[in-house]
Amino acid sequence: MNCHELAEQLAADRPDLTPVEVARLCLILLNRERSPERLRDPKARLAAWRNASFRFEAASDQHEAIVDELDQMLGDAPIEFSPDQLWTLLRAVKVQSQMLELYTDQPSLV
């Protein structure tokens, strides 16, 4: 199954999705699925969709939390980083890496 075919199936399954949401979902599903032909089966497609949605929501929640933490930590003034702040920065890199992994077929860098 290619991206166009999957997009048609997803749009038929969920006509309420915007074209951007369909494109994002196609990218995530095709990158996560070892056998894209498996996505032709509606049950397998739904299972893959649920798995991808769960992973995306978890990564989005982590991303939002770390962005808030970074905003609070950094502010506008120059600062010296404490060890805890350095760990926060490292977690931010890890979370960003997880978000990128959802959209690519590459493992996390961290």
- In angstroms, the CA 81 to CA 38 distance is 49
- Segment 1-30, tens digit of pLDDT: 899 999 999 999 999 999 999 998 998 899
| pTM for this model (two decimals) | 0.63
- Segment 66-103, tens digit of pLDDT: 888 877 777 766 777 788 878 888 888 887 777 777 76
